[in-house]
């Protein structure tokens, strides 16, 4: 298959390099010219936790750009960039191209659907990826990737993407309840990312702390209450998935911790912030999510020049 991947960060490079190694036609797209040039010069370096390092030459272009012939355009940008990215690609993406969001947080699908006329598929992955620099990614843990049509209907493209992802080494499932999948992942991330970012602990250390577990479970209970008020059927129990993800990605630093360490904006608004705002709209109290949101936003503010 011919894939375009918007966002050459950790997840974009992990999937791009792995799909390319499996024989698929992949083009990475990134808005930062310095990152584009680094990948053009050095390729993508994919490191596994067993110290195996593979160098892959993957075509890369500065975005926004047209990508004629791309069957699937994977969106792997930060959730807070989705609106601007979607607006910049309006009219550039051929109608026959399927758009697949492989992002964290809530609201990405609705944003893409409002800006683009293409078929939009939802995706969620628990693959662990840590950026070591432009085009360099450490694959910190194997997980599960779930994709599906957000309307719950069958999609031939989904089946083909599943095959391609599995050829690239990613365990993949198709779900008819992607709203439940995305909410479950958001609830789990809301109990991992800010706690990791605030404590500076990698995932494995979070799982070992009974005190962190108590806070995490309260965060998830609040998120589950909001999801029930939104009439979302969750895809499994987030509390069980929380521990499973932490243990399968022990060495991984959450994306929010990576962002905080680099003084960058985080996805707190699309995780705990989204649960908070939707809880407010439904009359559901979410005090733990509120305080975590405010603390992380305070850290972001303090890191500004």
The one catalytic residue among 78, 154, 173, 185: 185
Q: How confident is the model at residue 205 (pLDDT cuts 50, 70, 90)?
A: very high
Residue 252 confidence class, pLDDT cut points 50, 70, 90: confident
Radius of gyration of the chain (CA): 18
Residues in contact with 180: Cβ distance below 8 Å, sequence separation at least 6, in sequence order: 232, 233, 234, 235
Q: Taking the complete model, does pTM exceed 0.75, yes or no?
A: yes
Q: Is the pLDDT confidence value at 293 over 90?
A: yes
Where residue 250 falls among pLDDT bands split at 50, 70, 90? confident
How far is it, in rounded angstroms, from Cα 79 to Cα 105?
Answer: 6
Confidence of residue 114 (pLDDT cuts 50, 70, 90): very high
For 74, the 3-state DSSP assignment is: strand
Average pLDDT of 166-186?
A: 97
List of domains in the chain = 2-176 (3.40.50.720), 181-302 (1.10.1040.10)
Calculate what percentage of the chain has a pLDDT beyond 90.
86
Q: Could you tell me the pLDDT band of residue 115, with boundaries at 50, 70 and 90? A: very high
Of 14, 225, 286, 300, give the one whose Cα is nearest residue 130: 14
Burial of 117: CB neighbours in 10 Å, binned 0-12, 13-18, 19+: exposed
Annotated active-site residue 185? The verdict is yes
SS3 149: coil
pLDDT at 111: 97
Q: pLDDT digit string (tens) for 28-61?
A: 999 999 999 999 999 999 998 888 899 999 999 9
**What average pLDDT does this structure show over 239-245?**
91
Least confident of 111-120, 121-130, 241-250, 263-272: 241-250
173's enclosing H/E stretch is strand 172-174
Residue 153 has a pLDDT of 87
Q: Spell out a b/e string for 210-244, using b for 16 or more CB atoms within 10 Å of the CB, else e.
A: eebbebbeebbebbbbbbeeeebebbeebbebbeb
Average pLDDT of span 104-124: 96
Q: What number is the average pLDDT over the span 146-167? A: 94
d(CA 11, CA 114): 24
Please state the rounded mean pLDDT for residues 234-257.
89
CB 35 within 8 A of CB 6: no
**Residue 251 pLDDT > 80:** no
**Of 136, 102, 120, 121, which Cα lies nearest the Cα of 6?**
102
Q: What are phi and psi of 174, to 5 degrees?
A: -105, 130
What pLDDT score does 253 carry?
A: 84
How confident is the prediction for the chain on average, in pLDDT? 95
**H helix or E strand, kind and range, residue 113:** helix 108-115
Whether the upstream peptide bond of residue 170 has omega within 30° of 0, thus cis, is: no
SS3 state of residue 202: coil
């Amino acid at each position: 298959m011919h894939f375009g991947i918007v966002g050459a960060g950790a997840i974009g490079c992990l999937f791009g390099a792995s799909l390319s190694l499996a024989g698929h036609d992949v083009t990475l797209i990134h808005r930062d010219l310095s990152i584009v040039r680094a990948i053009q010069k050095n390729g993508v370096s994919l490191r596994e936790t067993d110290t195996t390092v593979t160098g892959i030459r993957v075509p890369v272009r500065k975005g926004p750009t047209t990508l004629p012939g791309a069957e699937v355009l994977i969106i792997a940008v930060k959730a807070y960039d989705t609106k601007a990215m979607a607006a910049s690609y309006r009219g550039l993406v051929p109608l026959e191209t399927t758009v697949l969001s492989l992002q964290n947080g809530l609201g990405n699908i609705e944003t893409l659907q409002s800006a683009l006329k293409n078929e939009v598929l939802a995706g969620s992955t628990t693959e662990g990826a840590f950026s070591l620099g432009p085009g360099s990614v450490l694959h910190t843990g194997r997980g599960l990737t779930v994709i599906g049509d957000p309307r719950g209907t069958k999609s031939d493209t989904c089946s083909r993407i599943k095959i391609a992802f599995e050829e690239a080494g990613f365990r993949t499932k198709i779900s008819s309840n992607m709203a439940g999948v995305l909410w479950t992942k958001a609830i789990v991330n809301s109990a991992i990312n800010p706690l990791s970012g605030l404590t500076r602990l990698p995932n494995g250390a979070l799982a070992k702390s009974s005190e962190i577990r108590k806070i995490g479970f309260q965060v998830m209970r609040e998120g589950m209450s909001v999801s029930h008020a939104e009439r979302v059927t969750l895809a499994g129990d987030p509390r069980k998935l929380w521990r499973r993800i932490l243990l399968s990605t022990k060495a991984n630093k959450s994306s929010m911790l990576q962002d905080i360490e680099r003084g960058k904006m985080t996805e707190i608004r699309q995780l705990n912030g989204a649960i908070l705002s939707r809880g407010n709209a439904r009359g559901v109290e979410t005090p733990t999510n509120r305080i975590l949101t405010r603390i992380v936003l305070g850290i972001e503010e303090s890191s500004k020049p």
